[in-house]
Chain A
Amino acid sequence: MVFYCLVRNDQTNTVHARTIYLIEIFLIQVFFAFSEIIIGLLNLRFSSFIYYIAIGIICSILAYLLVNKKYNKGRGQEVVQKYSELISRRKVLLVLLGISLFIVAFIFLILNGMLMSYLFSLHE
């Protein structure tokens, strides 16, 4: 619902597709943040950028599988129904919550990067 409120209706019937896309973008960041902890714990020091892209692609596939399992067509209709019942003030609150979620996910990603760096330093 939070992500659905974020998406602007541009009259192209892509609102649900873009909601799924935003959830995937959010999940990729969260999954990669957890991957950083695992990389740090296992002390897997990849010097090549390609390995990190590969991890990002794996996170993307995981996010795709998870979202497509949870957010099917029936769920989409349920969200539309709930959205139509919301008052405008609550919609604004949900939009702000959605933006905050993305900012928090980005900060979480950076903090986990620092944690990974710290975990690497313990092995030096």
Chain B
Amino acid sequence: MHLMSISGRTGDNGGGGSGDGNKLGKLISTISIPVGTMQTGFETANVLKAGLKDIAIGAKVLGKASDILAVASIGHDFATGTANTSTLLNGFVLVGGAVAIGVIGVAAAPWVAGFGVVYGIGSLIFEKPLNNAFDMSGSINFIKPSN
């Protein structure tokens, strides 16, 4: 079904007009927009609202996962005696990211995720130099490293 369509003759000037009318009808029906493609403002708002809800849920899941990972990594490092400056920094960044999503809004989620990836790659390189530069493992661990 089409929004615009022309059927029959558009002009009747004897025998030759019917062919032009059919061609014009076919042309318009080819370039016409099917009904349902264009949505009203209300329908569009509903679609966008659903999309925004999905993004908000995604951001919440990302933030909670970040927080759980932060607390778990802190707990693990202290339990195995491997806690150091990098542990505290990792925890601070993860919790900070989770809080930023809540405070700023879902718009912060992509930035937090992007920063997390960059920080994760950076920490692979800078973790050991950081721990060597600010070594506090002796003062915050009471047990010897188990692994």
Mark A residues whose CB is within 8 Å of B.
6-8, 10, 12, 14, 17-19, 21-22, 24-25, 28-29, 32, 35-36, 39, 45-47, 49, 52-53, 55-57, 59-60, 102, 106, 109-110, 113-114, 116-118, 120-121, 124
Contacts and interface: CB of A to CB of B under 8 A. Distances in A.
A39 B143 CA distance: 15
B142 A56 contact: no
A118 B74 CA distance: 15
Interface of B: 52, 56, 60, 63-64, 67-69, 71-81, 83, 88, 91-92, 95, 98-99, 101-107, 140-143, 146-147
Q: Lowest 3 CB-CB distances: which A-B pairs, in order?
A: A113-B78, A10-B105, A56-B68
Mostly, the B contact residues are: helix
Contacts of B78: 36, 113-114, 116-117
Contacts of B99: 22, 25, 102
A42 to B, nearest CB: 12
A54 B43 CA distance: 42
Nearest to A106: B95
Contacts, number: 129
Contact of A25 (B75, B102, B143): B102
A60 B64 contact: yes
B140 A17 contact: no
Chain A at the B interface: SS class: helix
Given A53-B68, A114-B140, A120-B142, A39 B98 contact: no
A120 B78 CA distance: 10
Q: Which of B52, B64, B69, B73 has the most CB of A within 10 A?
A: B64
A47 B80 contact: yes
B73 A109 contact: no
